[in-house]
Structure 1
């Protein structure tokens, strides 16, 4: 059946990136051919500039889980009018925590978490990568208190080609996506919900919708969707929520899908899963994907880097160069 499905534009580079960077640590000819020398990886925790920085950014979790297995669960891509290709992928990473480093001393526990990726391809090479890892799922699996982990991470030295994510990070603004109705409708729903229209989830989500959220949370139904997004807004009530890219598609043998890149930028001035308000400035990079059925959204994946948010809150006004993140916060 695979022979009946035509590979979409940008898929070749995306597959090379997944295999070379996150699956096999093969940074040879295929990786170099697919990735531009001056590529920038915009991570949930830091910004990595240049092919070498991007390549080495993958090593920490590989050391922590030497036997880890990476599966690409889904991928959607589109060619823009200016000949660039954009794409989004959702990965599932699993393995045994048998190595030290980023997640502390080895525990021997099995861990599993999502990684979501968006790429831009120009002249057959990836020039920009947006990558979010569900750090919260790992911390939960290892019984690590996120606040303590964030404190531990705030300590060594970042190389010059790595900049920690904080309120000073460049504002990239909204970027071109495609004209998918699915992406536009879902984007509009989330934007309206984050402005207070949380009742929309009851109207637009399937009663049995399967939901996968930051922290390794799995849930079902509109009320659970409402709870996730309402908690995020409650933690950062005055923060600006923006959808930065919308991508959707109707591929053969697949349900209609959409992928969004979004951002929250503002103060931690509300109550919720990040504790008492601190007034600290934060930037949250989020990636979301959804599938649709006759009763609305039937599956959703939305993640952001919980560890990065805690680091920003614990440090406060984080000044760009922070320890541990280069070698500690990696996918």
Structure 2
């Protein structure tokens, strides 16, 4: 039950390990009761049979079975969680945030769509966990008075794990999809979210050039391949660099299969080369100086054929145009950072399916925050008295 994933043993010889995959299995098969341990996992609780079982099962136990206290045995005390709307630095904050969201969205269910991973028991594991969450807004909280409306949104959580504990996490929740579906005004919600940061003195800072262009030089012709661990990962980084940083949008036709399916933010569903190209062009129409920077990549063989590849990335640029993020409106010139994650299913050298997640609400909040800082600066300028 699962695909054979190649893992190096102590002598450097590749040995087969029978690791679970989420895509074609019912939940009860993903959290088995009598399955023997499928890979070495020193320090992990006995109920976990492999790293995929671990991330799916512990997430379910905490969020669906409401055993929030498991966070104390599954996160380090100083775990850092980077999200698209802020960073937390303690385990206790993870506990508090979990309780608040469980109260606000008690009917939410997060279903594992897929898990792409790398690592071993000595170095630690890295997991990229794609979740499709459904629920209903029935209680008060950060979304205001309950609307009773339902929603569906994707989340991708990347975790670094060692001996049963997550010590670093990157979290991209498509909160814009949730906000829109439950009937809130995105502009008002983003303004209120920005104001909470503004009151704490967290102001947006425009740092100028972002690294894509240095002075008058063109973009680098070659990507940084140091993150890659195999040929599929190297090829993925190469075409991502060509398309996103060199703006060679025509490369889409070679990198993607003609029948590619794209699952994007706001539960967007697209198909084919033209739609994929338009989506990418629209991103850089909004941020023409945008710099795409991969931060991590890993991959696993897929029992559906081919390879699943996970890429964590950021895009930095200035809001200088109109593009795919409708809520941003007219260009503001403000600097933003888009935190994103993508999963690619690659067969015979081409992407046949893509899941990409970033939070448009985070970008809108950054713009609102920068505008608040501008207004404060103007208000603080002393106007000399008339002569």
Structure of greater relative contact order (alpha carbons < 8 Å, 6+ residues apart): 1
**Contact 2:160/2:169 (8 A) holds in 1:** yes
Larger radius of gyration: 2
Judging changes above 3 Å, is the alpha-carbon distance between structure 1 residues 46 and 212 closer, same or farther for their aligned structure 2 residues?
A: same
Q: Which of 304, 309, 320 in structure 2 is aligned with 1:269?
A: 320
Q: Which of 68, 81, 87 in structure 2 is aligned with 1:41?
A: 81
Q: Which region of structure 1 is more displaced relative to structure 2, 34-43 or 270-279?
A: 270-279
Q: How does 1:297-312 map to 2 (within 5 A)?
A: 297-312=351-366
Q: Distance in 2 between matches of 1:18 and 1:318?
A: 37
1:134 pairs with 2:184: no
Q: Which of 212, 231, 241 in structure 2 is aligned with 1:191?
A: 241
Deviations 1:132-172 (A, max 9, x none): 01112213323434222201323447999xx9796599x9x
Q: Could you say which residue in structure 1 is the equivalent of 2:161?
A: 121
Q: Which runs of 5+ in 2 are unaligned?
A: 5-17, 20-37, 40-49, 211-223, 374-387
Q: Distance in 1 between matches of 2:152 and 2:319?
A: 29
Q: Distance in 2 between matches of 1:248 and 1:136?
A: 28
Q: Which runs of 5+ in 1 are unaligned?
A: 320-331
Q: Could you say which residue in structure 1 is the equivalent of 2:68?
A: 27
Judging changes above 3 Å, is the alpha-carbon distance between structure 1 residues 279 and 290 closer, same or farther for their aligned structure 2 residues?
A: same
Q: Structure 1 residue 35: deviation in Å?
A: 1.3
Q: How does 1:1-331 map to 2 (within 5 A)?
A: 1=1, 5-6=18-19, 7=38, 10-11=51-52, 13-15=54-56, 17-28=58-69, 30-79=70-119, 83-156=123-196, 177=227, 179-194=229-244, 195-252=246-303, 255-272=306-323, 273=325, 274-294=328-348, 296-316=350-370
Q: Distance in 2 between matches of 1:242 and 1:219?
A: 24
Q: Distance in 2 between matches of 1:52 and 1:15?
A: 21
TM-score under structure 2 length normalisation: 0.72
Q: Distance in 1 between matches of 2:188 and 2:266?
A: 16
Q: Distance in 1 between matches of 2:316 and 2:291?
A: 5
- In the alignment of these two chains, the number of paired residues is 313
TM-score under structure 1 length normalisation: 0.83
Q: Which region of structure 1 is more displaced relative to structure 2, 136-145 or 1-10?
A: 1-10
Q: Distance in 1 between matches of 2:163 and 2:57?
A: 15
